[in-house]
Amino acid sequence: MTLESANAVASPRSTWLVDWRRLGRRALLSGLVIVAVIALYRNAMGSQYGFDFHGGIWRAGQDVLAGRSPYLAPNAHTLLVVGNTYIDPPLLAVLATVFSVLPFGLGVALWNVTCAAAFVAALFLLGVRDWRGYVVALCSFPFVSSLALGQPDGLFALAAALAWRYRDSWRGALAVGALIAAKLLAWPLLLWLVVTRRIRCSLIALVSAVALLLLSWATIGFKGLVDYPKLLAADAQAFATRSHSIVAGAMRLGASEQLATALAIALAAAVGLVIVRVARGSDPGCFAAAIAVGLLASPLLWSHYLVLLFIPLAIGRPRPDRLWLLTAAFWLSPIEPAHGWQIGLVLFTATTIMIAASSVTSFTKRLPWCSSARVGRATVVHERVLPGVP
């Protein structure tokens, strides 16, 4: 039998073959899009759309324009009753003044468009070119909840991406400083710069973070600065068991707040060390470890904070794979988890993603620009996420 006749015989059968894996991936992607659209539509049609933006950034921007302090008194009960007051350092409120002069509906719409564009730009900077990666990221529960609440996590993701993309220059250092000044849980990125021997960049990042904090606080006459640590403590106490943090999980199991905080710090440090170990001391591993420590050690870990997970994920695996699809598990837990197992699921999924995305095999198998180099006695892998990046 000739090759042509064999193909002719096989062709009728081949039409009935189904690539079930490909079909399953497409079904999952389609499901993510449908669920995300429905969730945003229902939120927009209700009274909770932009809930955090309204009581937080939008109102805080108006306070800044009026020279008032955007902060309430550091009282846990008051913060719990209000539910959506402004807590972050004043830098975000200063940046949001341009949105605060607009009507709320228009302001939150433009704010969300800006944050979504920033998130897309962050992924593009890190070399993500497959449209499926953008679908997974934009339709993930962390980012959808960020849009529903009007949170600035897309901007934080862009700052983190810039910090990595320009990690050897002052531009990356400024991005680190700005991110820390806007979101204090990003402080471990300073350790990343120090550990990777970017001492000059670490100094620029530290100075810029302090300068941005002081300059933004100066716009409101340094009101609320003295009581700010108490405000953070009161906020953590008010919402101690309502987020996905290790502290929340431990307190639900009966631990005291002090013990739960110590446990969170210890486990966050342990996860960071595991990530560095799995990555064999590589630069992406240290960067991912810094992100992980900041998130896991925080007394509050809201769902939208996990948008930052996509930065080390995009660095380690710019081509979307099954690890990207694992982020769909976040849809199983709402913004405020009702059960302890949901906290455990989110923490386990987030930790798995960060560890797997940072493994050396992610770079040796996926990225064609890897090269081995010996530093001291240890052999580590140095990679280029984008062509031409040192």
Residues 80-102: pLDDT tens digits? 988 889 999 999 999 999 999 99
| 44 has pLDDT over 80 | yes
- Cα dist. 191→34, 214, 367, 382 in Å? 40, 22, 26, 19
Q: In which band, very low, low, confident or very high, does the pLDDT at 45 lie, cut at 50, 70 and 90?
A: confident
Which pLDDT score, from 0 to 100, does residue 17 have? 58
| Of 2-6, 105-109, 216-220, the least confident | 2-6
Which pLDDT score, from 0 to 100, does residue 229 have? 94
Q: Share the mean pLDDT of the chain.
A: 87
Which pLDDT score, from 0 to 100, does residue 48 have? 83
Report the candidate in 281, 297, 271 with the shortest Cα–Cα distance to residue 354.
271
Report the candidate in 134, 133, 153 with the shortest Cα–Cα distance to residue 142.
153
* Cβ proximity of 79 and 234 under 8 Å: yes
The total of other beta-carbon atoms located within 10 Å of residue 252's CB is 16
Q: What is the pLDDT averaged over residues 201-211?
A: 97
Which pLDDT score, from 0 to 100, does residue 376 have? 34
* Cβ proximity of 277 and 368 under 8 Å: no
Kindly report the pTM of this predicted structure.
Answer: 0.86
Which pLDDT score, from 0 to 100, does residue 360 have? 63
Q: Which residue has the higher pLDDT, 1 or 192?
A: 192
Which string of DSSP letters, residue by residue, matches 32-77? HHHHHHHHHHHHHHSS-TTHHHIIIIIHHHHHHHHT---PPPS-HH
Q: Which residue type is seen at 374?
A: R
| 384 has pLDDT over 80 | no
* Cβ proximity of 45 and 72 under 8 Å: no
Which pLDDT score, from 0 to 100, does residue 256 have? 93
Burial class (CB in 10 A: 0-12, 13-18, 19+), 137: buried
Report the candidate in 48, 115, 159 with the shortest Cα–Cα distance to residue 167.
159
Which pLDDT score, from 0 to 100, does residue 47 have? 78
| 63 has pLDDT over 60 | yes
Provide the CA 238 distance to its chain's centre, in angstroms: 23
Q: How does strand 378-382 pair with strand 371-375?
A: antiparallel
Q: What is the pLDDT averaged over residues 23-48?
A: 87
Which pLDDT score, from 0 to 100, does residue 4 have? 52
Q: In which band, very low, low, confident or very high, does the pLDDT at 65 lie, cut at 50, 70 and 90?
A: very high
Could you report the per-residue pLDDT of 282-338, keeping only the tens digit for each?
Answer: 999 999 999 999 999 999 999 999 999 999 999 999 998 889 999 999 999 988 898
Report the candidate in 271, 276, 241 with the shortest Cα–Cα distance to residue 256.
241
Q: Which residue has the higher pLDDT, 13 or 239?
A: 239
Determine the Cα angle at 293 with ends 290 and 295, to 5°: 110
83: left (phi over 0), alpha (psi -120 to 50) or beta: left
